[in-house]
């Protein structure tokens, strides 16, 4: 290995306590710390197993997704060769605080197995791993622990605790929250008090429900709370009550649970709300090739209420012609009977009467968006009112829904079954003078159908179910 430093097999690394690693992380701007107990197959040859689906890794910041077909000769089944690579901004942290970038690090998602593995994490790193990731040396040893620290700039700082090190000896006694079947998150001492994260969440939702009306607010970095009356204030107010700081990354979460608030007229109308799941812009078709202006002039229509404005709206369900736009939504590269992706380059597309794609959303693009969904999600309905001074108040209902386990395949299946539909609101204003486009591409679902996206649904009354315990 030449003159490369050995950092994880050093005396400094062996003697570093877990509290010392946490302090090192905080000094690098890390706000969340996750860890995985490595198995004998977790090494540079076999690639460490990270999750079954990318949605299990919603807590990790990731970059661009690319699709490809594996060249492996282990199988001749083309479906088994489909894979997606996800870039990571990944570096290793030494016990002395040094940073060693791993420029080739990425996640590889094999949707047909399904599994997500870590690749390229030790190549071109500038230090000697000491054989702890080499299966021919010590890369099959039990007792290794892989840490991921997530910085405020959405970078991953990895650290390896080797067997027999002080960190490895202390990890079982340190408080943590299970984030997935593979990763735990390190939490502050005394935060759990032997209560499960789910019960802590439900207790908090009960407390917030009993507060009745709460003035709209948001919690910014530094713990600053300010009044908030914008359209999204119902969500920011709930997040502020839960202590969730606005960071714009991967959706707000509370101990591994994604928090989703939505407004209703009455709490019992929890099934009647139409929710926006995601708002990805197309990455192909006429919309991209010729531009939004040209798209609107070809597929839009004159607004019935505003002069010189073209609109593009309408509910687009899979395999049904939308009368308003004259386009049909299709899912290409997915077999709904076997519930399997058949083409890595598959897509969702709007097709015109001549078979031309007006808009395309590649699976690569959609995987990137859906990955931001958490494996665990809490949906909380709320009531709202506006005061004469234009301030807003919110009351959060006692009937909440918890969902667990979502996948990209479930999204595609819900699209083919028309549970999810494309509902755009695109405009071209001042079309004949000074044209200006406003884009809104959104995929929506009725709240009563959310269960089709998850493996498990729980309907809970926070006033009754948690007080029974």
Q: Are residues 174 and 291 in the same domain?
A: no
Q: Point out the domain boundary residue: 186, 210, 244.
A: 186
pLDDT given for residue 69 in this prediction = 63
The reply to whether the predicted model has a pTM over 0.85 is yes
Among 186, 218, 244, the domain boundary falls at 186
Q: Are residues 358 and 447 in the same domain?
A: yes
The answer to whether the Cα torsion of 263, 264, 267, 272 is positive or negative is negative
- Which CATH number goes with the domain that contains 349? 3.30.70.3570
**What's the number of domains the chain is made of?**
3
- pLDDT at site 204: 95
C-beta separation of 53 from 199 below 8 A: no
Are residues 143 and 201 located together in one domain of the fold? no
pLDDT confidence of residue 220: 84
**pLDDT value for 4:** 86
Per the DSSP assignment, residues forming a β-bridge with 158 are 92, 148
pLDDT the model gives residue 93: 97
Tokens 């027999």 belong to residue: 164
pLDDT for 305 equals 92
Q: Are residues 288 and 356 in the same domain?
A: yes
Q: Are strands 156-161 and 90-93 parallel, antiparallel or unpaired?
A: parallel
Question: What pLDDT was estimated at residue 247?
Answer: 57
Report the C-alpha gap between 102 and 438 in whole angstroms: 40
Those residues whose C-beta lies under 8 Å from the C-beta of residue 177, and which sit 6 or more positions away, are 184, 185, 187, 192, 197, 255, 256
Note whether 384 and 245 are same-domain residues. Answer: yes
213 & 117 share domain: no
Last residue within a domain, chosen from 165, 186, 207: 186
Tell me the per-residue pLDDT of 325-340, one tens digit each, with 9 for 90 and over.
999 999 999 999 999 9
Q: Judge if 380 and 361 occupy the same domain.
A: no
Tell me how far apart the terminal alpha carbons of the chain are, to the nearest angstrom: 58
Q: Using one digit for the tens of pLDDT, what is the confidence trace for 244-263?
A: 876 555 556 888 899 999 99
Tell me the residue range of the domain where 105 lies. 11-186
Q: Which residues of the chain have pLDDT under 70?
A: 1-2, 69-80, 190-194, 246-252, 465-469
Here the CATH number for the domain that contains residue 171 is 2.40.330
- In this structure, what is the dihedral angle of CA atoms 371, 375, 376, 379, given to the nearest 10 degrees? 40
For residues 25 and 162, membership in a common domain is answered with yes
Closest CA to 346 of 284, 434, 270: 284
């Amino acid at each position: 290995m030449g003159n490369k430093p050995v950092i994880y097999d050093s005396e400094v690394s062996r003697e570093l306590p877990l509290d010392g690693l946490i302090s090192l992380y905080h000094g690098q701007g890390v706000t969340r710390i996750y860890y995985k107990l490595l198995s004998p197959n977790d090494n540079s040859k076999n690639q460490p197993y990270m999750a079954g689906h990318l949605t299990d890794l919603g807590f990790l910041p990731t970059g661009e997704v690319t699709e490809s077909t594996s060249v492996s000769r282990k199988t001749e089944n083309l479906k088994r060769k489909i894979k997606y690579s996800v870039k990571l901004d990944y570096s290793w942290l030494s016990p002395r605080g040094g940073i060693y970038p791993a420029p080739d690090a990425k996640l590889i998602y094999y949707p047909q197995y399904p599994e997500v593995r870590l690749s390229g994490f030790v190549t071109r790193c500038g230090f000697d791993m000491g054989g702890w990731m080499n299966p021919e040396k010590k890369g099959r040893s039990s007792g290794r622990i892989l840490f991921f620290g997530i910085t405020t700039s959405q970078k991953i700082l990895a650290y390896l605790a080797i067997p027999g090190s002080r960190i490895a000896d202390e990890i079982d006694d340190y408080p943590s929250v299970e984030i997935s079947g593979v990763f735990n998150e390190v939490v502050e001492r005394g935060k759990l008090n032997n209560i499960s994260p789910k019960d802590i969440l439900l207790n908090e939702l009960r407390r917030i429900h009993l507060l009745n009306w709460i003035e709209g607010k948001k919690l910014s970095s530094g713990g600053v709370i300010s009044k908030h009356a914008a359209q999204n204030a119902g969500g920011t107010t709930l997040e502020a009550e839960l202590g969730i700081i606005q960071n714009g990354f991967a959706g707000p979460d509370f101990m591994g649970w994604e928090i989703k608030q939505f407004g209703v007229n009455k709490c019992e109308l929890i099934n009647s709300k139409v929710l926006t799941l995601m708002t990805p812009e197309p990455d192909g078709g006429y919309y991209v090739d010729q531009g939004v202006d040209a798209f609107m002039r070809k597929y839009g229509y004159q607004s019935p209420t505003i002069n010189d404005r073209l609109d593009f709206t309408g509910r687009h369900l899979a395999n049904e012609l939308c009368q308003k736009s004259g386009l049909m939504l299709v899912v290409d590269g997915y077999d709904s009977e076997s519930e399997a992706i058949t083409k890595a380059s598959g897509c969702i597309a709007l097709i015109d009467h001549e078979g031309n794609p007006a808009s395309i959303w590649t699976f690569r693009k959609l995987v990137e968006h859906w990955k931001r969904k958490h494996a665990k999600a809490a949906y909380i309905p709320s009531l709202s009112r506006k005061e004469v001074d234009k301030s807003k108040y919110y009351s959060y209902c006692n009937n909440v829904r918890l969902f667990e386990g979502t996948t990209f395949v479930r999204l595609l299946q819900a699209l083919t079954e028309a549970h999810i539909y494309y509902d755009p609101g695109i405009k071209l204003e001042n079309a004949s003078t000074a044209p200006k486009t406003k884009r809104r591409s959104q995929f929506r679902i009725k709240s009563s159908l959310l269960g089709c996206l998850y493996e498990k649904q729980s309907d809970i009354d926070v006033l009754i179910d948690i007080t029974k315990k």
